[in-house]
A and B are shown apart, each in its own frame.
Chain A
Amino acid sequence: MRERESPKAKRYARLVEQEKPKISLFSNVVRAFVTGGIICLLGETIRTYLLYLGLSQPLAGVWMSISLIFLASFLTGLGVYDEIGRFGGAGSAIPITGFANSIVAPAMEYRSEGAILGLAARLFIIAGPVIVYGLVSATGFGLLRSVFR
């Protein structure tokens, strides 16, 4: 240490600390809860309607997922899902809609780098790891379960 912090600098540091926007954990968590909850509520609404139409439980689940993925992809294209993401944080990332968003957003962003190594390759930048770890763990845990049942 060459020089001790002057009182002035200390006061300045304290001021900066005070003026920094307080990112409250509580408010983030509440927003994530509400956003994620609403997306699941939407999913349940779609699922209930599909079941009402006479689809089986598994089919209704798959079509619900596909509907949400389509909706999220489209909203990402329009730039709306980014706004939802800014508000909802994990609440917009964790639902399947966040997975769709993680595919569409880089696809749009990197399209200018070409149709192959731009759009098509970058599309998997987050989806890729999700699929890899998902499949590896599912195969591992699934086989363990099958062998030691």
Chain B
Amino acid sequence: MNFFWAFIFGGAVCAIGQVILDKTKMTQADLMVVLVVFGSLISALGFYDPLVTRFGAGAMVPVSNFGHTLTQGVIIGYQENGFLGALEGGLGKASAVLGAAIIFGFTMGLLFRPKG
């Protein structure tokens, strides 16, 4: 059942994104930025964690989860260490994923050449 909900929710987010792409002049980059900001807002309001509980990877795989991770990092960091904690917490919590993306990106950029 978890697999079903992950598929449905993740698919639905992407379907809505596609409608926005087709109906507005937004590019994929705009869409990603909007989703991250939206995820961050939803997370601060406390609505993102229930989505993760309910839909698992369906809510964790879309980039909006990046905004969620950053926001939770800020909130938890602020509780522990005030403003400095908030500044550390945001990127702190996302750093593993960001680090992986940059390192893999750099490596693949060196290893592969674009087709054609």
Q: CA A88 – CA B15 in complex, angstroms? A: 10
B89: A residues at CB distance < 8 A? 142
**A43 and B97: CB pair below 8 A?**
no
A44 and B56 in contact (CB under 8 A), knowing A25-B22, A93-B17, A138-B70?
yes
Q: Given B40, B96, B105, B115, which contacts A73 in the complex, CB threshold below 8 Å? A: B105
**A141 and B60: CB pair below 8 A?**
no
Q: CA A31 – CA B14 in complex, angstroms? A: 9
Interface residues on B, range: 35 or more
A79: B residues at CB distance < 8 A? 112, 114-115
**B105 and A100: CB pair below 8 A?**
yes
Is B51 an interface position by the 8 A CB rule? no
Is B101 an interface position by the 8 A CB rule? yes
Pick the 6 closest A-B CB pairs, nearest first.
A40-B10, A36-B14, A107-B109, A142-B74, A37-B11, A138-B70
Q: CA A109 – CA B15 in complex, angstroms? A: 29
A40: B residues at CB distance < 8 A? 6-7, 9-11, 57-58, 61-62
* A134–chain B nearest beta-carbon distance, Å: 4
Q: Given B62, B79, B101, B107, which contacts A95 in the complex, CB threshold below 8 Å? A: B62
Residues on B lying within 8 angstroms of A by beta carbon are 2-3, 6-15, 17-23, 28-29, 31-33, 35-37, 40-41, 43-46, 52, 56-58, 60-63, 65-67, 70-75, 78-79, 83, 86-87, 89-91, 94, 96-98, 100-102, 104-115
Most buried by B among A45, A98, A142: A142
Residues on A lying within 8 angstroms of B by beta carbon are 23, 25, 28-48, 61-62, 64-66, 68-70, 73-74, 76-79, 82, 88-91, 93-100, 102-105, 107-109, 111, 119-120, 123, 126-127, 129-131, 133-135, 137-139, 141-146
* B47–chain A nearest beta-carbon distance, Å: 12
B15: A residues at CB distance < 8 A? 29-30, 32-33, 36, 90-91
- List 11 A-B residue pairs with CB atoms under 8 Å apart, sorted by A's residue number: A32-B17, A46-B57, A65-B97, A68-B61, A90-B14, A99-B63, A102-B28, A137-B37, A142-B70, A145-B45, A146-B75
